[in-house]
Amino acid sequence: MKSLTLIAVLLLFTYIVPVTAQQPALDIERIQRATVFVMQVRNVEDNLFITCVSSGTLVSRDGLILTNAHSTQQSADCPGTELIIALNVRSGESPIAQYRAEIAQIDPGLDLALLRITREPDGRLVNRENLALPFVELADSSATRIDETITIVGYPGIADDPVTAVQGTITGFALEPRSTNSASWIKTSAVISGTMSGGGAYNTQGQLVGIPTTAPLRQGILNTNCIPIQDTNRDGIVTASDDCIAIGGFINALRPSNLARPLVRAASLGLDVEVMSLPTTTSSGNTPTISRLFFSPSVNEAGMPTTVISNLPSGSTSLYLFFDYANMSPETVYELRVTTDGRPNATFSLAPVRWSGGSSGLWYIGSSGQPWPNGVYEFTLFANGVAAPTQRLTIGGPPQITATMSDIVFGLLNLRGEPLGNGFVLPSGNTASAQFLYRNMSNGTNWTAIWYLDGNEVSRTPDVWSEGETGSASTSIQDPNGLRPGSYRLELYVENGLAATSDFTLAGAQQGVRPQIFSNARFTTAATPAEAAQSGAISTFSDSIPQLYALFDWQQIAPGTLWTLRWLVDGDVFYEQVSPWTMPESGQNFTAILSSPNRLPDGTYNVQMLVNNLLLASIEAKVGIGQLPIDRFARADGVLLRGQILDSNTRQGIPGVAFILISEDFSVSDFDWNQSKVYALAVTDQNGFFELERPLEYSTDDREIAYSAVIAADGYQPISADGIEVTTETENPLELIIYLSRD
């Protein structure tokens, strides 16, 4: 039922009725107001020169902005030192610079950044508690489906054009190792310009499902589309001799919003993780390379190919392109171009984007659950504009009966010859074994097993097949002095053709058949890292604390081994970093520090250590009550108030009406248009619709919360009310129709 208190109070001043009909779900004007233009700038003799631009989206009322990392983080391509935020103040006009911002959270690999508004353009500090900015809600991007209609909102020019919206459909999904449980990219048919990178893609309910993303190059073989807009060389004219703004070409891929949730969660909770020994993410200076392209119809839980194929039958719905990479960094730009029968295929191509893997290793990009039409496909990968050799695949016709090897699993063999362990991370020892399936093999066929360590061949075993047509077999590598820790690879060849391949990691001491890489993991609190290393383990902290230390020891893990450090609070991830190991092979007291500008929120904190997507160690600690007191990551904790304001005579919507909700500490008589007294503010769109971006908090027996409201528009009699309350029984969202009378 609706709050009788709210309705009764407002009825004293005007004729208001609850809305029963559903208003349009996609409030494009509200979304456009929440879309910002981000300018990275550098200060030269008190002149601000723009170095990079992008679109962005407000995701909180107090000024958190979701955008791309490449256009905000200082780099060789973006050498600016400050961030200027321009807002869509007047519909149909260029954005106006209104704030400065800083990076609150960033994931260079995913090319996502979360900015926080901090200052006015002149440098004065902003009281973020008083901000009441329009913002959007993140959708569950895993619920999106092919052919679903989406609307992309952003700025199509370099600060000269108004915010715009384009429609399209979802055409597919791309998968990469960085995101194992959902899509890494959402593909779309929408025509998205390069400067809309960092903006937002919305479902029909007006929720943010993805972030349009591209990574333009200033130099290289690719079309850089770099535009000079300022006289940076001070010769009095703007020419090609001036610094240019790289905006790239059209975008066809979106980063799913679910990948941004940890950044938003960490910033919303005020959490920051400092890892004492993580490597820098800058380029090594060596040329990025891509090699050894091959295809697999599927991947296993460790992100490895199940088999190697050269063709697929008609009706196939799953395909993965694997390749080796080296000298890559988050600043590397890579692109996939796909043609079908010689014609460009945008559905399976990927526009230039930032690299999200490590510096070297095995990677894939693929799709599952999406039909692949018949044809001859050619795949070409680019790294910083330089093309790798093209790989070809034919799809069509009936399944072909060929000799195959597949499903390689690594382990320590038991007495029955079966591999034991987790399959892809083995403890250090003298022997590593691999078991695999085979089909359509013929006795007498030549086959070879080749083993590699860190890219170097260490064993080659040519043989003649004698195991029959179908079944399982095994092969192994041995060293009486002990196999060295590191990244291993096995390649299986049938008659000189690659039939199957997979990587695994050898690390840690043997604990049964499982590796013990990380040990003595513990939480503690201390004044310094040195003090934390000497402190005992603590799992329960009765009061909130300013810092939480996570420490662990490690053994026999080779430098360069990819591993993952993950932090969670109340079961939700707020930090995840995949990086190569940079410490010695064995050691003590690896340290990560969780801190907050104030004190850590109450909650249950968990730290996980993974290798090859496999969880190898985990610790947990409770702070305070062991649970976040409220869901501070949720869009609203209270009643959302929205509706439509109409002319009492014409019954037409009135645009530009200000609906001001005054803080509980003030009444209408106290209100003097001071922003510090405003709890929430909304302005009606051209049809008279409004929505308060901040929810009304519930009034309870323990704490009564009563708001006041002022509704005003030029040419109409203003109305106001005190004592507005909502309870848990109030309908949520609460939708109203309000009639105003002319003066």
Look at residue 598 in the predicted model and tell me its pLDDT.
83
Nearest residue to 200 (alpha-carbon basis) of 59, 71, 333: 59
If phi > 0 it is left, if psi is from -120 to 50 it is alpha, else beta; for residue 672 that is alpha
DSSP state of 716: B
Query: Band of the pLDDT at 51, cuts 50, 70, 90?
Result: confident
Using the predicted structure, report yes or no on whether residue 36 has a pLDDT greater than 80.
yes
Q: Cβ contacts of residue 122 below 8 Å, gap of 6+?
A: none
Architecture, CATH, for domain 404-506: Sandwich (2.60)
Instruction: Answer yes or no: CATH 2.40.10.120 is held by domain 34-269.
Output: yes
Look at residue 89 in the predicted model and tell me its pLDDT.
80
d(CA 339, CA 345): 5
d(CA 693, CA 679): 10
Portions of the chain given CATH number 2.60.40.10: 289-395
Both tokens of 493, joined, read 């060849």
Strands 333-340 and 375-383 come out as: antiparallel
| Residue 82, CB-side half-sphere exposure with 13 Å CA sphere | 19
Do 726 and 639 touch, CB atoms closer than 8 A? yes
Which residues are paired to 651 by β-bridges?
none
Which residues are paired to 152 by β-bridges?
166, 201
Which fold is adopted by the domain 289-395?
Answer: Immunoglobulin-like (2.60.40)
d(CA 232, CA 257): 36
> 395-410 pLDDT, tens per residue?
998 888 889 999 999 9
Do 677 and 671 touch, CB atoms closer than 8 A? yes
Using the predicted structure, report yes or no on whether residue 554 has a pLDDT greater than 90.
yes
Give the pLDDT mean for 128-154: 90
Both tokens of 331, joined, read 């600043």
> 234-270 pLDDT, tens per residue?
667 766 666 766 666 678 899 999 999 999 999 989 9
Look at residue 704 in the predicted model and tell me its pLDDT.
86
Residue with tokens 């009765």: 542
Do 712 and 151 touch, CB atoms closer than 8 A? no
Give the pLDDT mean for 74-78: 83
> 142-155 pLDDT, tens per residue?
999 999 999 999 99
End-to-end Cα, the chain, rounded Å: 34
d(CA 127, CA 487): 50
CB atoms within 10 A of CB 633: 20
d(CA 191, CA 210): 15
Between vectors from CA 725 to CA 722 and to CA 729, what angle results, nearest 5°? Answer: 160
Look at residue 405 in the predicted model and tell me its pLDDT.
97
Both tokens of 453, joined, read 């360590």
Do 693 and 687 touch, CB atoms closer than 8 A? no
Portions of the chain given CATH number 2.40.10.120: 34-269
> 504-547 pLDDT, tens per residue?
999 999 887 789 999 999 999 999 999 999 999 999 998 778 99
Look at residue 9 in the predicted model and tell me its pLDDT.
46
Portions of the chain given CATH number 2.60.40.2550: 404-506
| Residue 196, CB-side half-sphere exposure with 13 Å CA sphere | 28
Look at residue 11 in the predicted model and tell me its pLDDT.
45
DSSP string across 52-83: EEEEEEE-STT-EEEEESTTTS--SS----EE
Share of the chain above pLDDT 90, in %: 57
Q: Cβ contacts of residue 14 below 8 Å, gap of 6+?
A: 711, 719, 738, 739, 740
Look at residue 240 in the predicted model and tell me its pLDDT.
65
Lowest-confidence pick of 300-304, 362-366, 679-683: 679-683
Using the predicted structure, report yes or no on whether residue 217 has a pLDDT greater than 70.
no
d(CA 190, CA 175): 20
Q: Is 639 exposed, middle or buried (0-12, 13-18, 19+ CB in 10 A)?
A: buried
Provide the CATH number for the domain formed by 517-623 in this structure. 2.60.40
Nearest residue to 86 (alpha-carbon basis) of 60, 53, 59, 111: 53
d(CA 709, CA 82): 38
Whole-structure pTM value = 0.81
Look at residue 579 in the predicted model and tell me its pLDDT.
86
Do 664 and 707 touch, CB atoms closer than 8 A? yes
Which fold is adopted by the domain 4-24+636-740?
Answer: Immunoglobulin-like (2.60.40)
Give the pLDDT mean for 592-600: 92
Q: Cβ contacts of residue 411 below 8 Å, gap of 6+?
A: 418, 419, 420, 421, 422, 423, 426, 433, 435, 513
Portions of the chain given CATH number 2.60.40.1120: 4-24+636-740
- Residue bearing the bigger pLDDT, 734 or 299: 299
